């Protein structure tokens, strides 16, 4: 049974360059057979006995097409021969995998998933080595990384030497016709850099790489290092006339691919303070009159946020039959922004004490009151759907319950200053998530044991730019009809704290506040053996509940960035910090 969708066999194929690796090849084919994807096995002029073995092996696997080159032309030449065969047979993507068994074939599914999410990108493995890797290989790799960063004027390419990739064939074959690409061990780096020059992004997926003790290496230290050095020379001088275009290209990528945490807070502290003053002097109606043109200005000038709103609302409109409480005419980016403005007033009103728990529809109010009476600490899994700040204010003012919120403060400094003027308690129990460490976990444990609540936001990816492989910190889950990246961290932390976990939403779909408190588990447990699979199931369940409430109150969605695109955070300079 195939582990990938049946229609993908018409779009994807494997390409395996092979030179005297017939023994190791058998295990590679056995491991990838489960995917039921056609394969082009390119015999790069193997010795006679090895070539005969390849013929016999290909007969055992009907999905393998053997192509023999008359002489040994090099790995790159073999792979490019496979590209041409695949493209001529109308395949859209080629999965390159080595014949020596170094690559972990289990991640083929992940490579294909990333290819589906990024159809125009080159998807590449990002090596995670065990102790079998020769030290000189690592040193050579870091030297190549250095030169590639210079040749692209960017740090976007994390590894250019891994031969485990998914290529979009149309731009790749076009590039091969236009330029002389390295035909031997210089191929992998050469083609990745040149594709980058053409505007083709690279997306990386962590993959375990093993060097078998009895493995056969065709890398010739002197000859191939000279070849690679000459390749970098050509790429360096090829980069020079491209500098203006590369600078422009990298700037566009940076503006497009900004992580949500590194989006600057929009300026306007004076305007917010003015609105607060009007609210206090003349009431909410007067504040709303001023708020309308202020938010309209942000809507007109916030191109990225406006586009993100449209992307989200398009997905909502596809499921409009499931949206019972909102007029379809209101599902526009303009009214989405205005609703966000209303939520700012709600935050001010909540911390000023103008909104009481009795004013709110809360179907789980008795459960909340029980937890308050028992003084039992709980973990609240929250999101940027709705107003968690309103929930914090109500709990603090109405029942003296402290909710300690893990938040990223950097892009909401100005508004937090205003909330502090309204009520000092609004900022007392905010814990910076960017500096989360063992000491913070101990602090949270103490607060839970004291009967306080801990609120963890679970719909935005990690703000930590120093993770070796940022992709390891996320789980892709289906959300509103398309895979989206969700963080593992909130659920891993909840498991470590060992306290009851609840999902919490504070919504306002039809002008009336609604708070939903859903019991998830008394203790979140993750096993070592099946940890990844269990996290995937948990995150998908959370994504399903998030989607359910999005359809109840779609304008309460306050993630004004492309939620379905994963952009790892970049390391901040001292100036930025």
pLDDT of 459-506, one tens digit each?
887 655 445 555 578 888 999 988 899 999 899 999 999 999 999 988
DSSP secondary structure of 257-315: S--GGGSPPPP-HHHHHHHHHHHHHH-HHHHHHHHHHHHHHHHHH-HHHHHHHHHHHHH
Q: What is the reported pLDDT for 397?
A: 57
* Dist. CA 442–CA 311, nearest whole Å: 40
The stretches in the chain having pLDDT less than 70 are 1-9, 130-137, 211-222, 224, 254-273, 357-358, 390, 392-399, 408-430, 432-437, 462-471, 568-577
Q: What is the reported pLDDT for 398?
A: 63
Torsion sign, CA atoms 445, 449, 453, 459: positive
The percentage of residues in the chain with a pLDDT greater than 70, rounded to a whole number, is 80
Helix 489-497 / helix 531-552 crossing angle, nearest 10 deg = 110
* Dist. CA 65–CA 303, nearest whole Å: 50
Do 358 and 394 contact (CB within 8 A), yes or no? no
Architecture of the 8-252 domain = Alpha-Beta Complex (3.90)
Q: What is the reported pLDDT for 23?
A: 80
* Dist. CA 43–CA 393, nearest whole Å: 69
pLDDT tens for each residue of 255-271: 655 554 445 544 455 56
Tell me the two tokens of residue 229: 């050095």
The model's pTM: 0.62
Q: What is the reported pLDDT for 55?
A: 92
Q: Exposure pattern of 545-559 as b/e (b: 16+ CB <10 Å)?
A: bbbebbbbbbbbbbb
Q: What is the reported pLDDT for 371?
A: 80
In the chain, residues under CATH classification 3.90.550.10 are: 8-252
Q: What is the reported pLDDT for 224?
A: 67
Q: What is the reported pLDDT for 195?
A: 95
């Amino acid at each position: 049974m195939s582990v990938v969708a049946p229609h993908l066999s018409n779009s994807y194929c494997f390409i395996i360059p092979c030179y005297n690796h017939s023994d190791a090849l058998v295990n590679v084919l056995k491991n990838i057979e489960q995917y039921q994807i056609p394969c082009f096995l390119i015999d790069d002029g193997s010795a006679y006995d090895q070539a005969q073995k390849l013929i016999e092996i290909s007969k055992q696997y009907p999905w393998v097409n053997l192509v023999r080159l008359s002489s040994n032309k090099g790995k790159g030449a073999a792979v490019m021969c496979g590209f041409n065969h695949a493209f001529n047979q109308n395949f859209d993507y080629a999965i390159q995998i080595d014949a020596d068994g170094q690559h972990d074939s289990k991640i083929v599914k992940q490579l294909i998933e990333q290819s589906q999410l990024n159809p125009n990108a080159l998807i590449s493995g990002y090596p995670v080595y065990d102790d079998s890797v020769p030290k000189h290989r690592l040193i050579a790799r870091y030297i190549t990384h250095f030169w590639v960063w210079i040749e692209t004027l960017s740090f976007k390419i994390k590894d250019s030497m891994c031969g485990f990739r998914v290529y979009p064939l149309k731009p790749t074959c076009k590039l091969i016709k236009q330029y002389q690409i390295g035909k031997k061990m210089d191929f992998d780096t050469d083609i990745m850099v040149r594709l980058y020059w053409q505007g083709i992004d690279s997306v990386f997926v962590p993959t375990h790489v093993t060097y078998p003790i009895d493995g056969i290496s065709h890398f010739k230290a002197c000859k191939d290092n000279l070849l690679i050095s000459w390749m970098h020379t050509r790429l360096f001088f090829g980069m020079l006339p491209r500098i203006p275009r590369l600078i422009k290209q990298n700037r566009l990528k940076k503006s497009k691919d900004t992580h949500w945490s590194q989006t600057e807070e929009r300026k306007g502290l004076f305007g917010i303070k003015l609105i607060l003053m009007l609210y206090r002097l003349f009431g909410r109606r007067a504040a709303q009159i001023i708020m309308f043109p202020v938010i309209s200005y942000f809507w007109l000038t916030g191109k990225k946020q406006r586009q993100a709103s449209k992307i989200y609302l398009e997905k909502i409109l596809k499921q409009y039959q499931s949206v019972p409480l909102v007029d379809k005419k209101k599902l526009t980016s303009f009214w989405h922004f205005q609703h966000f403005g209303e939520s700012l007033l709600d935050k001010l009103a909540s911390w000023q004490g103008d909104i009481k728990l009795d004013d709110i529809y809360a179907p789980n109010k008795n459960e909340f009151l029980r937890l308050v009476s028992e003084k039992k600490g709980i973990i609240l899994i929250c999101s940027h759907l709705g107003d968690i700040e309103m929930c914090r204010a109500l709990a603090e003012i109405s029942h003296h319950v402290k909710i300690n919120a893990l938040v990223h403060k950097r892009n909401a400094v100005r508004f937090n200053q205003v909330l502090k003027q309204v009520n000092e308690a609004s900022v007392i129990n905010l814990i910076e998530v960017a500096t989360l460490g063992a000491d913070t976990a101990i602090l949270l444990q103490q607060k839970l044991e004291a009967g306080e609540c801990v609120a963890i936001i679970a719909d935005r990816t990690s703000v930590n730019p120093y993770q070796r492989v940022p992709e390891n910190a996320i789980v892709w889950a289906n959300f509103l009809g398309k895979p989206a990246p969700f963080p593992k961290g909130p659920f891993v932390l909840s498991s470590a704290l060992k306290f009851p976990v609840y999902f919490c939403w504070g919504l306002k779909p039809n002008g009336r506040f609604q708070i939903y408190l859903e019991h998830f588990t008394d203790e979140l447990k993750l096993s070592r053996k099946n940890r990844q699979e269990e996290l995937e199931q948990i995150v998908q369940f959370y994504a399903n509940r998030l989607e359910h409430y999005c359809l109840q109150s779609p304008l309460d969605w306050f993630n004004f960035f492309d939620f379905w695109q994963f952009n790892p955070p970049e390391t901040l300079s001292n100036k930025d910090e």
